[in-house]
């Protein structure tokens, strides 16, 4: 539709109330019809969508999927304990071994080829490693040795009965018939006078006092007073050193020394097994 000639915006007087130019007239003036502009915009939007889809396919569709990162298992670190749990201290198990039979005064006890006690000290409860098998043997002069394997559980007292039998005496040779020919007298060896020990015997009162101190050390040992028990046994050993020079050597001094040494060793072993940092 062509606008009427002579009617132009320039022909309108200022303040005129005539209607403005219509949209169709504006499209005619600009030379682009209204339908053609909408089609152009739709084509541009379609091209942009096609470009976006094609670019996405080129970027993501053809790219090879990346392999997932390899997982390496790391060693687990130390895990913390819960506040309510406590870790038990590792301690060596201890058992006790005692011989209840009557043995000669010169007998001695060996456990795993090691002398533990002798004389009257064998009847004293001895501390040995628990939960283990021990080679136990008892020896005495003029007696046949006794051997056995004894299993000692932890925190228990094992009693063993030992019976020693006397060894067979050496048979005396048969007497030879007398010779009829006279024999020349054989020279007699020179007998040197034997030096006698003039020291007195160990008094019974001293022996009883030392045995009493051993019993006191045993009481201290049972209640866990390690240093008091060890001091008692060391005092007995010092008194025995003095007695060995002042009195004659006897089986009593040897027995008491072996008993004190075994008890002192048991105190040190039990103190370490109890987890104490400072032991005698």
pLDDT bucket at 121, cuts 50 / 70 / 90:
low
- Answer whether residue 138 shows pLDDT above 50: yes
Cα separations in angstroms, 32 against 28, 46, 55: 7, 21, 33
Note the pLDDT of residue 26.
46
Q: Tokens 């682009």 belong to which residue?
A: 32
Distance CA(34)–CA(24), nearest Å, equals 8
Which tokens is 269 given?
Answer: 């072993």
- Answer whether residue 153 shows pLDDT above 80: yes
| Contacts of the segment 2-5: beta carbons below 8 A, 24+ positions apart | 2/28, 3/28
Distance CA(22)–CA(25), nearest Å, equals 5
Query: 165 and 142 in contact (C-beta within 8 Å)?
Result: no
Q: What is the pLDDT of residues 239-268, one digit of tens each?
A: 999 998 888 877 888 889 999 999 999 999
Cα separations in angstroms, 50 against 39, 53, 61, 63, 187: 16, 5, 15, 19, 141
Query: 202 and 242 in contact (C-beta within 8 Å)?
Result: no
Distance CA(226)–CA(234), nearest Å, equals 12
Query: Is the pTM above the cut of 0.85?
Result: no
Closest Cα partner for 237 from 226, 220, 253?
253
**Strands 108-111 and 146-152: what pairing?**
unpaired
What CATH number is given for 91-166 in this structure? Answer: 2.60.40
Average pLDDT, the chain: 75
Note the pLDDT of residue 113.
83
Q: Which range among 7-11, 28-32, 39-43, 266-270 has the greatest average pLDDT? A: 266-270
Note the pLDDT of residue 271.
92
Which CATH architecture does the domain made up of 201-280 adopt? Up-down Bundle (1.20)
Note the pLDDT of residue 111.
87
Listed in sequence order, the residues at least 6 apart from 244 whose beta carbon sits closer than 8 Å to its beta carbon are: 253
- Of 88-92, 139-143, 155-159, 274-278, the range with the lowest mean pLDDT is 88-92
pLDDT bucket at 180, cuts 50 / 70 / 90:
low
Distance CA(114)–CA(261), nearest Å, equals 13
Every domain of the chain and the residues it spans? 91-166, 201-280
């Amino acid at each position: 539709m062509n606008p009427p000639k002579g009617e132009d915006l320039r022909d309108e007087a200022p303040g005129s109330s005539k209607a403005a130019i219509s949209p169709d007239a504006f499209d005619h003036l600009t030379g682009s019809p209204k339908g053609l502009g909408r089609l152009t915009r739709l084509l541009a939007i379609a091209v942009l969508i096609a470009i976006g889809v094609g670019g996405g396919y080129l970027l993501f569709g053809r790219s090879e999927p990346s392999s997932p990162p390899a997982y390496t298992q790391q060693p687990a670190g130390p895990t913390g304990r819960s506040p309510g749990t406590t870790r038990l201290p590792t301690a060596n198990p201890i058992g006790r071994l005692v011989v209840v039979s009557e043995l000669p005064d010169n007998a001695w006890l060996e456990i795993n080829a090691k002398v533990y006690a002798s004389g009257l000290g064998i009847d004293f409860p001895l501390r040995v490693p628990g939960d283990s098998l021990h080679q136990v043997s008892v020896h005495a002069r003029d007696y046949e040795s006794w051997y056995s394997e004894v299993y000692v559980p932890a925190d228990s007292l094992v009693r063993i009965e030992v019976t020693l039998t006397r060894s067979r005496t050496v048979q005396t040779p048969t007497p030879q018939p007398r010779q009829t020919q006279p024999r020349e007298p054989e020279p007699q060896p020179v007998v040197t006078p034997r030096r006698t020990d003039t020291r007195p015997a160990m008094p019974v009162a001293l022996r009883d006092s030392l045995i009493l101190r051993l019993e006191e050390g045993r009481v201290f040992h049972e209640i866990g007073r390690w240093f008091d028990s060890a001091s008692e046994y060391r005092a007995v050993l010092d008194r025995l050193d003095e007695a060995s020079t002042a009195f004659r050597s006897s089986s009593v001094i040897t027995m008491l020394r072996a008993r004190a040494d075994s008890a002192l060793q048991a105190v040190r072993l039990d103190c370490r097994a109890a987890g104490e940092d400072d032991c005698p």
